[in-house]
Chain A
Amino acid sequence: MRHVTAILRRDLANYFLSPTAYLILLAFQAIAWLNFWELVDILTRRQVAFSTLNDPMNTYISGSFAFWIAIMVAIPALTMRLLAEERRSGTIESLLTAPVTETEVVLAKWLAGVFMYLALLLPFAIYLPFLRNLGRFDFELGPLISLAIGLTTLGMMFTSIGVFFSAVTKNQIVAAVSTFAVLFLLMLVTMMAYSYAAERRLAWAEPLRFVAVFYQVHAFGTGRLDPRFLVLHLSACIFMLYLSVKVLESRRDQ
C-alpha cells in the first residue's frame, strides 16, 4: 500500500493544478451562496416549529435541489478521468508495469476522488461560523455533524461508482454518463418510486425508502445518525472498488 500515497499525490496535484478544479469550486461556491441566502431569508422569518424536525437548519444543503444536481454532475466530472484518461492516453500501461498492484491504483484513484469531493463541500461549511458568531445564532451542531458524516460516506460510495465506470471504459464521456445515470437512479428514481409506493401504501415502500439516498441524507440532516446507512454506503463502496480492481486485472491480462 506504500504506492497509494504517491499515486494519490500525483492525482491531487493533477487536479488542483488544472483550472477545472477552481471552476468547479467557483460553481459550488455560487450554489452555496444562494443556498445560504435562502437559509438566512427563512431564518429571519419568525419560527414556530414544534420540534427539531421542522428546523430550517436541517434542510441546509440536504434539502437544496441545486446542491444535489451539482453533486450529480460534479462527481461524474471528477471521476470520469481518473482511470479512463490513463487508459486513453496509454499511461495506464506504464503505471501497471511499475511495481504497483491494481488494488493500489484503484485505492489511490478513489481516495483522490473522495478528497476532491470533500473539497466541494467546503464552500457550504464556510458560512456556518459566520452565522454562529456574527449572527449570534445558536444553531444545533449535532445535526450538522451527522450530515457531514453522512455526506462523507455517501461521497465515498458515489466516488467508487465513478471509479468503476472510469475503469470499465476509456471513453470519459461514457464513464461520466454511466456514473450520472446510476447516481440519478440512486437519488431521484428511488425517491420518486418511494413517493409512488408510499402514496399507494405498497409493501415495498419501506425497503425503497431505506435505499433512497435522498431520505438517507435527510435523516442525517435531522441529526439521526443511522449506522445502517453508513454500513450500506461502505458496503457498496467496497463492492464497487472490488469490481474496479477486477476490471483493471482483466485489462492487464488482455
Chain B
Amino acid sequence: MNFLARTEVWIVFLGLAAFLVLYWVIRGAPIGQSAELENDDEAPAKGYRDRVIAGVVVGLLLVAAGAYAALARGILWSLPLFGIGFGTVLTLVAINRRYRHGSPSLRRAVEFSQSALNGALLAGVLIVVNVVAFRYGGQTFDLTRERAFSLSSQSIAALRSLERPVTLTIFFGQGASARPRVDRVRQLVELYHDANPGRIEVRDIDPFRDLGKYEELLKAVPEVALAQGGGLVVEYGEGEGARRAVLRTADLFELPAAPRNEDELNRYQTIFKGEDAVTAALLRLREGRRWKVAFVLGHGESPLSEISPQRAGLGLWRSRLEAIGAEVVEVNLVRQDVPDDVEIAVVAGPRTKFAADEAARLKRFSDRKKPLLVLLGTQDDVGLADFLKGFNLALGKGVVVDPRFNSRGVISFVYAAIESRPRQAIALPLAGRRVLTPNASPITILGSSSPGGKGETPNPAIIVEPVVRTSGESWVETDLKTPRAVFDAGRDVKGPAIVAVAAYEIPASEAGPNVQPIPRLVLISSSPFLENAFLEVEPTNLDLLNNAVGWLRGRPESGGIAPKSHTALTLSADPTLRARLILVPTVLSFILILGLGATTYLARRA
C-alpha cells in the first residue's frame, strides 16, 4: 500500500502507459505485433524503424517529464530533461527526414514529433506568460464605485514595511446582518493577503463549528468574547511575543439612521471603515509603544473627554488618535513646558489669549524641531502671531464665505477643496475631496504672491505649501456685522483663499536633491474644524487631521484612510411600472427576433 501511495510510482506507471500508447500510435501496431510492411527501396530496416520510433517517444516523454519537474521542483531541475528530450527528438528528426518518402511510419514519427515539439513550445510560452501574469499582474482593475477591491497607498506602504508575520483571524457573529458584514471584512483582509502574501495569513473561525479553535482564540484574546457581532483579530508576530488587537465588525460599519422619507427608504447608505481600522491596528501593533500627543489647553478649548456630536468637544478625534496608537495628554503652558517625550503638540482652537510666557514655551517646544498642529481661526488675537510669523505665516482679517460650497446654506461654513495635485503626503490620499471649514480665516504665506504676502522677508529655511483652498466663488468677508454677506470689491478679498497649509524646514547644512525635509507645522485656520459636530457632518475632516498627524510624525502611512461608502439601492416600482419594465423590452425583443427570422425565411423562399 505504501509503495502505491508514492507519487513517483504513479509517474513511472503513467510514463510507461504513455510510452506504449504513443509507440502504438506512431508505429501503427503495438509492441509484439508486426507493423505494416514497407517495401520501398528507400525504407530502412524494420528494427531500425522501431528503434527510431522508440527514441522519438522517449524524447517526447522526457520533454513532458521536464514540464512536470519544472512545476514540481523548479525550473533548474527541468533543464537537463528538456535538453535531453528536445535534443533526442530533434536529432532523430534531422537524421530520418530523408526517409519520409520511403517509410510511412518514419514520416508519421517525424511529423508527429515536429507537431508535438511545436505544441510543447507554444504551451511553454503560454505557461510562462500565465506565470508572469500571475506573479506580476496581480493588480486587478477595480471597476466598482466604492473601490471595494483596492487598498489605499497608506495600507500598501504599511503592508510592505511589515517585519514580522501577521495573522488576520476572522470570527463570525450572530444575527441576520453579521454574515454580510463578515463577508465584507473577509473580502478586505483578502486584499491585505494579496498585497503581501509572504507576511499576511488569513484564518476563518466559525465559533459554532470550530469550537476548539474558538476556545484557543478566546484563551489568547479574551476580548473576542465581547464581540458578539463577530470581528477580526489582528495578530502581529508569532507565539508568546505576538501582539494582538480585536476589531469588532459592529465598529467597522456606520449604519444609516431610520429612513425619514421614501427616497431614504430606497437608498441604504452604509460606511465601511475597515481598511482604516485594520491598517491603524497594524501600525499600532508594529510600533509596540504608544506615542504622545499633547493638547495645549487652558484657553477656552472644547473638552477632550466629550464625545457627543451634540455638544462642544474634541472626544471623537481623541478616540481616533488613541485607536491609531497615540497617548493623548493635556498640557497647560501656564504651569509646565510641553514634556520632552511628546511627539506632537496640538493647539486646538484657543479662544483666549496666550500669555507671553506660554507662547515662549510653545516656541521652545517648536525650536526643538518638534512638530505642531495648530487650529486657529478666531478673529481675535490669541497672541500667536509672532510664533506663526516664524513659519512665514499670518492669519488675515475676516471670515471666508462661499455662497455655493457651504453646509446647509450657512455661507461661513465653507466646503474647501484639498489640493488636487499636492506635493506632500497630507493631501495625497484625499486629493480633490472637500473638508468643512467653519468660520475660517484666510492664511497669508509671507514672502509669497498670496494676498498680503508680498513685502515681507520670509524665513528662508521654511517652505510653506497650501493644503486646502476655498473655491473661486468664495471671498473674505470683512464686514462681519452685516446679516447678509455681499461681496464688496473695495473691502473684501476675492477667493480662492488658503485655509490650511503645511510648513516644513529644509536644513541649510544639508542642501541637495536628497535632503529630507523636516515637517514642522500644519496650520488650519478654522478653530471648530476638529469639533465633534463637524467631524460627524464631514468625516473627511477627520481624515485630514489624521493625515496631518501622520505627516508631522514622519509616518505618512499612518494617516487616516477614507472610509468606503456604499449605497444599496431599492427599485421603487409599482406593479404597473414593474410590468412595463419586464414586458416592454421582452415583447420588443421577441418581435425583433421573430420579424428577422420571418423576413429571412421569406427572402430565402422567394
Known contacts A146-B141, A238-B122, A238-B126; A43 and B571 CB within 8 A of each other = yes
Chain A nearest Cβ from B567, distance in angstroms: 9
A51 to B130, CA, bound (A): 31
Of the candidates B118, B133, B143, B593, the one whose C-beta lies within 8 Å of that of A22 is: B593
Q: B268 touching A49 by the CB < 8 A rule?
A: yes
Q: B145 touching A239 by the CB < 8 A rule?
A: no
Q: B571 touching A135 by the CB < 8 A rule?
A: yes
Contacts of A250 in B (CB 8 A): 111, 115
Of the candidates A37, A232, A246, the one whose C-beta lies within 8 Å of that of B130 is: A232
Mostly helix, strand, loop or mixed at chain A's interface?
A: helix
Q: A243 touching B119 by the CB < 8 A rule?
A: yes
Q: A46 touching B144 by the CB < 8 A rule?
A: no
A231 to B137, CA, bound (A): 10
Q: B577 touching A242 by the CB < 8 A rule?
A: no
Of the candidates B130, B177, B568, B578, the one whose C-beta lies within 8 Å of that of A235 is: B130
Residue A227 CB within 8 A of the other chain? yes
Residue A127 CB within 8 A of the other chain? yes
A2 to B589, CA, bound (A): 35
Task: Give A213-254 as 1s and 0s: 1 = Cβ < 8 Å from B's Cβ atoms.
Answer: 000000000111111100110010011001100100110010
Residue B149 CB within 8 A of the other chain? yes
Residue B123 CB within 8 A of the other chain? yes
A224 to B190, CA, bound (A): 13
Q: A25 touching B593 by the CB < 8 A rule?
A: yes
| Number of residues from B at the complex interface, CB < 8 A | 61
Residue A134 CB within 8 A of the other chain? yes
User: Which B-chain residue is minimally distant from A236 (CB atoms)?
Assistant: B126
Residue A65 CB within 8 A of the other chain? no
A243 to B577, CA, bound (A): 52
| Number of residues from A at the complex interface, CB < 8 A | 60
Of the candidates A49, A134, A145, the one whose C-beta lies within 8 Å of that of B143 is: A145
Residue A47 CB within 8 A of the other chain? yes
Stretch in contact with the other chain, from A52-60, A76-84, A158-166: A52-60
Contacts of A98 in B (CB 8 A): none
Task: Give B586-602 as 1s and 0s: 1 = Cβ < 8 Å from A's Cβ atoms.
Answer: 10111001101100110
Known contacts A126-B589, A225-B140, A227-B140; A51 and B187 CB within 8 A of each other = yes
User: Which A-chain residue is minimally distant from B176 (CB atoms)?
Assistant: A48
Contacts of A249 in B (CB 8 A): 115
Q: A227 touching B582 by the CB < 8 A rule?
A: no
Known contacts A29-B590, A146-B141, A224-B140; A44 and B578 CB within 8 A of each other = yes
Top 5 A-B residue pairs of the complex, sorted by shortest distance between their CB atoms = A142-B143, A22-B597, A43-B571, A47-B568, A223-B144
List B residues at the A interface (Cβ < 8 Å). Answer: 111, 115, 118-119, 122-123, 126-127, 129-130, 133-134, 137-146, 148-149, 177, 180-181, 183-184, 187, 253, 265, 268, 270, 272, 564, 566, 568-573, 577-578, 580-582, 584-586, 588-590, 593-594, 596-597, 600-601, 604
List A residues at the B interface (Cβ < 8 Å). Answer: 16-17, 19, 21-22, 25-26, 29, 32-33, 36-37, 40, 43-55, 123, 126-127, 130-131, 134-140, 142-143, 145-146, 222-228, 231-232, 235, 238-239, 242-243, 246, 249-250, 253
Q: Could you list some 23 contacts between A and B, CB below 8 A?
A: A29-B590, A32-B589, A33-B586, A51-B270, A51-B566, A53-B148, A53-B184, A54-B568, A126-B585, A135-B573, A136-B572, A143-B143, A143-B144, A224-B140, A224-B142, A224-B143, A227-B133, A227-B140, A227-B141, A238-B122, A239-B119, A239-B126, A249-B115
